[in-house]
Chain A
């Protein structure tokens, strides 16, 4: 072990942590909104709409994320329509391409989690709410959402951790996140073991912190009324 490499590599890798976190958290947030729309479309009962949402999820889940990143970064520029569009200045940048690909990807997985959560709310409880005059957004806000959230949260926490690690793929299109920085340092120092071990330690710390954060939110919900209490 070359401790001198560790001593210089570690701070350099730490300086790339904000990029990794940014990619993960912005993608999860943006992906969540799209995921809600997709889940609602799936459950809408409107055939065209739910078919479209299903197809989207099917394609995204059935192809590698790396391919999706390449498709957007290298592929988008081939279409004249894209180059002529106002989005071109954005799609030309690796950062936005990575964010877009990660968001679109996590939205597909997220929509399945949300759909499962919404479907887990017992029908009888929704019916009781309707029988007492609750409907529309109020029914959703008071009865459906709080119960769906309890089911969704653990799975969504897991998705956040998967995505946190998946951001490393962005390094393949010139993004200097933790992995991107590690690759640069490894080739400069000829000490890949030291550098990648350091990077691994950083990812481990990030995923551990995320897990703890999600668990604390779950715990707070449980104390406010039984995550485990179904029925």
Chain B
């Protein structure tokens, strides 16, 4: 697969980090779910996160836009620090909202708003959060729906769509805010096998455009082809990371080796 833009692997080139965590920690009560995670995704990079179920991948992704409040450490978005260790109450609500306005998220269970049509699902956030006029927001929504192959479904309600179609609408919804960072939490895990392909195709095309993306996935083929960096989570830590051609072919840690052989 070729990319139209130079795709920096960590440290290489002058790409700026879009989001970074340092020593990020999260516990639920006494249970430590994230233990000192230091992570970086640079501009135009596609980072895949892999790891066994329960290893903390979703929690990590949700900490990035503060759907979960981190227990400690720091998050930097575009160079601005959002969570200072030990600060009581954590990041300020205003900063969190600002970060959320500049990111898009795609969920495992789609989470489309069921009282709105497909068009409204895509157009409403730009209108109500970003102050875009209705006409403009709907025009752009229709373009995005065409891009994910669903222009004909704009007046349908989510419940009338297949899982694959719902997820493509969810991707259009995330793109509608022209995000600087896209987060995907297992976007194909809830789909019937025959519907996985259509969603992966759309995500692949976004990678080609040079979108900055973090994708939690079980699709090893996808991670290998599309990502610039693969991060392996184990027990709430980053156990291993690197370019997909290296770590997926020649894993250093035995745990990654075991994990990879179990997914084949």
Task: Report yes or no: A231 in contact with B159, Cβ–Cβ below 8 A.
Answer: yes
Task: Report yes or no: A150 in contact with B100, Cβ–Cβ below 8 A.
Answer: no
Nearest residue (CB) in A for B104 is: A132
Determine if B72 is an interface residue (Cβ-Cβ < 8 Å).
no
Nearest residue (CB) in A for B113 is: A125
Quick one: given A134-B125, A225-B116, are A124 and B97 in contact (CB under 8 Å)?
no
A residues within 8 Å of B by Cβ? 122, 124-125, 127-135, 138, 142-143, 146-147, 150, 225-226, 229-231
Nearest residue (CB) in B for A146 is: B115
Task: Report yes or no: B113 in contact with A131, Cβ–Cβ below 8 A.
Answer: no
Task: Report yes or no: A132 in contact with B100, Cβ–Cβ below 8 A.
Answer: yes
Task: Report yes or no: A142 in contact with B128, Cβ–Cβ below 8 A.
Answer: yes
Within 8 Å by CB of A133, from B112, B125, B159, B160, lies: B125
The minimal Cβ–Cβ distance linking B179 to chain A, given in whole angstroms, is: 9
Cross-chain pairs A/B with CB under 8 angstroms, 5 sampled:
A128-B111, A132-B101, A132-B125, A135-B97, A229-B115
Determine if B222 is an interface residue (Cβ-Cβ < 8 Å).
no
What's the Cα separation between A134 and B97 when bound, in Å? 8
Within 8 Å by CB of B115, from A127, A130, A225, lies: A225
Nearest residue (CB) in B for A149 is: B115
Task: Report yes or no: B115 in contact with A226, Cβ–Cβ below 8 A.
Answer: yes
Nearest residue (CB) in B for A143 is: B113
Given A124-B111, A132-B125, A229-B114, 11 more pairs with CB closer than 8 A? A131-B67, A132-B173, A133-B97, A133-B125, A135-B97, A138-B128, A150-B115, A225-B117, A225-B157, A226-B114, A229-B157
Judged by DSSP, the binding face of A is helix
| Neighbouring A residues of B116 by C-beta, 8 Å | 225
Task: Report yes or no: A132 in contact with B129, Cβ–Cβ below 8 A.
Answer: yes
What's the Cα separation between A176 and B160 when bound, in Å? 52
Within 8 Å by CB of B114, from A127, A130, A142, A231, lies: A231
Task: Report yes or no: B101 in contact with A133, Cβ–Cβ below 8 A.
Answer: yes
| Neighbouring B residues of A128 by C-beta, 8 Å | 105, 107, 111-113
The minimal Cβ–Cβ distance linking B34 to chain A, given in whole angstroms, is: 19
| Neighbouring B residues of A150 by C-beta, 8 Å | 115
Determine if B65 is an interface residue (Cβ-Cβ < 8 Å).
yes
What's the Cα separation between A141 and B158 when bound, in Å? 20
Find residues 152-170 in chain B having any chain A CB closer than 8 Å to their own CB. 157-160
Contact with A along B118-136 (1 / 0, CB 8 A): 0000001100110000000
| Neighbouring B residues of A125 by C-beta, 8 Å | 111-114
What's the Cα separation between A203 and B111 when bound, in Å? 45
Q: With contacts defined as CB atoms under 8 Å apart, how many contacts are there between chain A and chain B in the complex?
A: 70
Determine if B177 is an interface residue (Cβ-Cβ < 8 Å).
yes
Find residues 76-127 in chain B having any chain A CB closer than 8 Å to their own CB. 93, 97, 100-101, 103-105, 107, 109, 111-117, 124-125
| Neighbouring A residues of B157 by C-beta, 8 Å | 225-226, 229
The minimal Cβ–Cβ distance linking A103 to chain B, given in whole angstroms, is: 30
What's the Cα separation between A131 and B184 when bound, in Å? 12
What's the Cα separation between A49 and B113 when bound, in Å? 31
Quick one: given A225-B116, A230-B114, are A130 and B159 in contact (CB under 8 Å)?
no
| Neighbouring A residues of B107 by C-beta, 8 Å | 124, 127-128
What's the Cα separation between A130 and B103 when bound, in Å? 11
| Neighbouring B residues of A143 by C-beta, 8 Å | 113
The minimal Cβ–Cβ distance linking B127 to chain A, given in whole angstroms, is: 10
Nearest residue (CB) in A for B100 is: A133
Find residues 45-83 in chain B having any chain A CB closer than 8 Å to their own CB. 65, 67
Find residues 21-61 in chain B having any chain A CB closer than 8 Å to their own CB. none
Quick one: given A142-B124, A229-B159, A231-B159, are A131 and B105 in contact (CB under 8 Å)?
yes
What's the Cα separation between A160 and B158 when bound, in Å? 32
| Neighbouring B residues of A229 by C-beta, 8 Å | 114-115, 157-160
What's the Cα separation between A158 and B197 when bound, in Å? 47
Task: Report yes or no: A130 in contact with B100, Cβ–Cβ below 8 A.
Answer: yes
The minimal Cβ–Cβ distance linking A86 to chain B, given in whole angstroms, is: 41
The minimal Cβ–Cβ distance linking B106 to chain A, given in whole angstroms, is: 9
Task: Report yes or no: B113 in contact with A226, Cβ–Cβ below 8 A.
Answer: no
What's the Cα separation between A72 and B264 when bound, in Å? 73
| Neighbouring B residues of A230 by C-beta, 8 Å | 114, 159
A131, A138, A142, A225 interface centre (most CB from chain B within 10 Å): A131
Within 8 Å by CB of B109, from A124, A131, A133, lies: A124
Shortest Cβ-Cβ A-B pairs, 6 listed: A128-B111, A124-B111, A133-B100, A133-B101, A131-B105, A229-B159
Within 8 Å by CB of B105, from A132, A134, A225, lies: A132
The minimal Cβ–Cβ distance linking B130 to chain A, given in whole angstroms, is: 8
The minimal Cβ–Cβ distance linking B239 to chain A, given in whole angstroms, is: 27
